[in-house]
Amino acid sequence: MSTTPVIEVDRLNLTYGDFHAVKDLSFEVRPGELYALLGTNGAGKTSTLEVVEGHRRPASGTVRVFGHSPRDRRVVRPRMGVMLQESGFSPDLTVRESVRLVGRLTRRSDDVDRVLDLVDLTGRAGRKVSQLSGGEKRRLDFATAVYGTPELIFLDEPTTGLDIQSRDAVWATVDRLRENGATIVLTTHYLEEAQQRADRIGLMHQGTLHREGTVAELTRTLPAVIRFSLPVGAPALPLRAVPDAEGKVVVETFGLQHDLHVLLRWAQDHAVELQGLEAGPTRLDDVFRAISN
Amino acid sequence: MLSIATGELIQIFRNRLVLITSLIIPVVVSAFFIRQHETYAALGSLGYIAAIVMFTITAFGLYATAVTTLASRRQNLFLKRLRSTAEGDAGILAGLLLPVLVLAVVQLTVILTVLAVVTGAPANVALLVVAVLATLAMMVGLALATAGLTNSPEHAQVTTLPVTLGVIAVATWVGISGTENLAWLKRLLPGGAATELTMNAWNGGVAVTDSLLLLAPTLGWVVVAVALATRLFRWEPRR
């Protein structure tokens, strides 16, 4: 497989009047990877995505998609599918008509019924878009993004408003596309989705790339956490611990396995019950919380 | 482009309100003018009836519907959706406007033919076709410019009034009072020269070369409208 990046962003700047939304942002997305662009609210990720998708002109900097300007629709768009954050379908067209129309305009070919089946909208094919629920509209949007199996797919908040079955179905389809080599750019507020699926994560904050790397790289710098409650009159702990707001004991550690072992042995030896014991690696949530601190 | 146009045509026929304002009302008004043609011919001339019918259809059928359609497609982000595909901006606009344009052409052809059958053929059919085409171009250009100032389909009811009422008023003024007085003002107002050209084509009696000069103000409005549209037109709702 080629190692030329699918997306190259170099010193991108974007301004709205006086507001500097994106500042000197550089990153690249490699073929076949799932790159999650995450960030706090107003971090500039939607603005960045809009430039990369070709909807917006940057104030300065260069963006290349498949080596071309993303504004060169004729060349770039047939190779990429876009799921927008807000649906943007005509309420008076039916589901089938919408998929057929947008699908044709991508210049890719596919079978409308196959795509409708993929997102479980076959039963809704003849309904007007205005009669769909929010989740069904998200699925319609996803259907047009994956129509014709593009090489690059932008998923902007793909699972917002979806029930768990639809969410699993969306990810199953994404997994199949990835097996065929598709590159995915994802934004989401469900951090566990990014944690489970992203090859790399770009974490934006105030218009810049605050951190970038694999999930392991991002979480490595923060300690893992062990949390439990102690019964009254328990002996002194073998580890340094602090109480949290709910009165639970919190142990932060970079050696989770070792410290957990120490703790459990101590509990066993002293016959102490560690109530509500939780132990886990650092989650992306914690990385996010660490940004604003 | 044709896929977009097909989708638009489906939507026009599914949306009764659009169908009534863009198709039915202009036809009813035009039918009224043809039925009362003796009254209006006495007031102005048969060419005046042709001009007023032309502006009724292009202002209410074509122009107002085009502005409403563009504002509505922008408001529900359909324009942004179309721009996420491989279709270029020109193709998107052409696709969106083609159905209303074709409907207007069909309406005009039918109604002017009826007028000719009822009252007698126009003096110069080719010149009449030129006048109609120039007017269609002007109204499409004005629609694109107005759409830039229109935030929603509801807002279009207000933003389209200056042009719709304006061209009807100008056509009436020119059609009834002629261009002996204030000729240049009348010709420079939007629709003024097109009205005079239409009257010349229908009534005859004016040299074709003199009539063709009247194309200049109308085409000038096309240029102004397109220049305004390139500055004002927006693809996404204001946030």
Query: What's the first-to-final CA gap in chain A, in angstroms?
Result: 41
Check A101 against B3: CB less than 8 A apart: yes
Looking at residue A200, its pLDDT comes to: 96
Task: Decide which of A210 and B147 is more confident.
Answer: B147
Looking at residue A293, its pLDDT comes to: 66
User: Into how many domains does chain A fold?
Assistant: 2
Give residue limits of the domains in chain B. Answer: 2-232
Q: Does residue A287 belong to any structural domain of this protein?
A: no
pLDDT class for A199, splitting at 50, 70, 90?
very high
Residues of A with Cβ-Cβ distance to B4 under 8 angstroms? 101, 105
What does the pLDDT average to over A3-25?
A: 92
Q: For residues A142 and A231, state if they share a domain.
A: no
pLDDT class for A69, splitting at 50, 70, 90?
very high
Check B87 against A105: CB less than 8 A apart: yes
Say if residues B11 and A93 touch (Cβ distance below 8 Å).
yes
pLDDT class for A35, splitting at 50, 70, 90?
very high
Q: Does residue A156 belong to any structural domain of this protein?
A: yes
What is the torsional sign of CA A15, A18, A19, A22? positive
Q: For residues A214 and A255, state if they share a domain.
A: no
What does the pLDDT average to over B138-145?
A: 97
Q: For residues A263 and A201, state if they share a domain.
A: no
**pLDDT of A34 strictly over 90:** yes
Interface of B with A in 114-173 (CB under 8 A): none
What does the pLDDT average to over A3-9?
A: 92
Q: For residues A236 and A249, state if they share a domain.
A: yes
Looking at residue A1, its pLDDT comes to: 53
What is the reported pTM? Answer: 0.88
Looking at residue A212, its pLDDT comes to: 92
**pLDDT of A136 strictly over 60:** yes
Looking at residue B239, its pLDDT comes to: 66
Q: What is the pLDDT of residues B49-91, one digit of tens each?
A: 999 999 999 999 999 999 999 999 999 999 999 999 999 999 9
Amino acid type, B21: T
Q: For residues A207 and A243, state if they share a domain.
A: no
Residue A271: domain span: 223-282
Q: Which of A91, A101, A106 sits opposite B86 (nearest CB)?
A: A106
Looking at residue A85, its pLDDT comes to: 83
Check A88 against B80: CB less than 8 A apart: yes
Q: For residues A239 and A271, state if they share a domain.
A: yes
**pLDDT of A131 strictly over 60:** yes
* Nearest chain B Cα distance for residue A183, angstroms: 17
Q: For residues A21 and A102, state if they share a domain.
A: yes
| H-helix or E-strand spanning residue A11 | strand A7-16
Q: For residues A178 and A57, state if they share a domain.
A: yes
d(CA B148, CA B151): 8
Q: For residues A15 and A149, state if they share a domain.
A: yes
d(CA B44, CA A238): 105
What does the pLDDT average to over B198-224?
A: 94
CATH label of the domain that carries residue A148: 3.40.50.300
Say if residues A235 and A272 touch (Cβ distance below 8 Å).
yes
ipTM of this complex prediction, to 2 decimal places:
0.88
What does the pLDDT average to over B93-122?
A: 95
Q: Does residue A291 belong to any structural domain of this protein?
A: no
Residue of B nearest to A75 (CA): B86
Q: For residues A52 and A170, state if they share a domain.
A: yes
Q: For residues A63 and A152, state if they share a domain.
A: yes
The structure tokens 């002017």 sit at B112
d(CA A156, CA B80): 14
